[in-house]
Amino acid sequence: MTQNDIIAPENLVYSKPELMNDTTMHYCPGCSHGEVHKLIAEIIEEMGMAEKTVGVSPVGCAVFAYRYLDIDWEEAAHGRAPAVATAIKRCWPDRLVFSYQGDGDLACIGTAETIHALNRGEHIAIIFINNAIYGMTGGQMAPTTLIGQKTSTCPYGRDPEIHGYPLNITEIAAHLQGTCYVSRQSVDTVASIMKAKKAIRKAFEASMQGLGSSLVEIVSTCNSGWKLSPVKSNEWMRENMFNVYEKGDLKDTTNIK
């Protein structure tokens, strides 16, 4: 076998999604954002929606999603992505419209916009990256920070008597009448990546079929904010976050396989 045989197109079993730009990733090594970006690109390509997709990215690490996915993007003010996505979808109902948000953005400053857009049943999909910390701005406590978890603003660990309890926004979404699909997944293993892709695909298809609003939470790592290696971050996530943020479909009324 020659080198040409190895790299011949017929021997290629995997390639980068065409919708992913060649921009060098700025995310920290081990960050979950890159994997989710790839899944979104693959799904849009497979759905044949490359020319009819609009993503909305707000403030935080998620803001730079537009650098990596070659689709139309609109940047929103901090927390306002669901409101912007609502306007785009109502103006262009034939478009696939989704927001891509972190936990500080979605579950804190954008709580009202998120809940009301979901409750109205807007035909949008919300991708929610939950790493339980403010990753971009210095590792502060987020609404999703776990009890006892240390951050730059609660260095002795989150104390419920002082800071309150972690906000399970996905459970709240599942109880809203406007939501048709609510799921929580992760991307730490090959099996979990496949489940996450299936969940995002279902959310996108539900939005195009006008079934209501969808929320897909991805329980993620922030090894820089957590001050752990990528491997240790995944271990910490499995041992701690999955107990609070249980994975699986929380609501599915779509009948989409």
What does 29-84 look like in DSSP terms, one character per residue?
TT-SHHHHHHHHHHHHHHHT-GGGEEEEE-SSGGGGGGGTB-SEEEE--TT-HHHH
What mean pLDDT value characterizes the chain?
A: 92
pLDDT in tens, 197-240: 999 999 999 999 999 999 999 999 998 889 999 999 999 999 99
pLDDT band per the 50, 70, 90 thresholds, residue 9: low
pLDDT at 6: 54
Count other C-beta atoms under 10 Å from residue 241's C-beta. Answer: 22
pLDDT at 12: 65
Q: Which residues of 130-141 are buried (b: 16+ CB within 10 A; e: fewer)?
A: bbbbbbbeebeb
pLDDT at 245: 96
pLDDT at 16: 83
Average pLDDT over residues 86-95: 97
Average pLDDT over residues 81-98: 97
Q: Which of 38-42, 75-79, 181-185 has the least mean pLDDT? A: 75-79
**Would the pLDDT of 18 be above 90?**
no
Read off the amino acid at residue 16.
K
Is this structure's pTM higher than 0.85?
Answer: yes
pLDDT at 139: 78
Second-level CATH architecture of 27-249: 3-Layer(aba) Sandwich (3.40)
Is 125 in contact with 204 (CB distance < 8 Å)?
A: yes
- What are the extents of the domains in the chain? 27-249
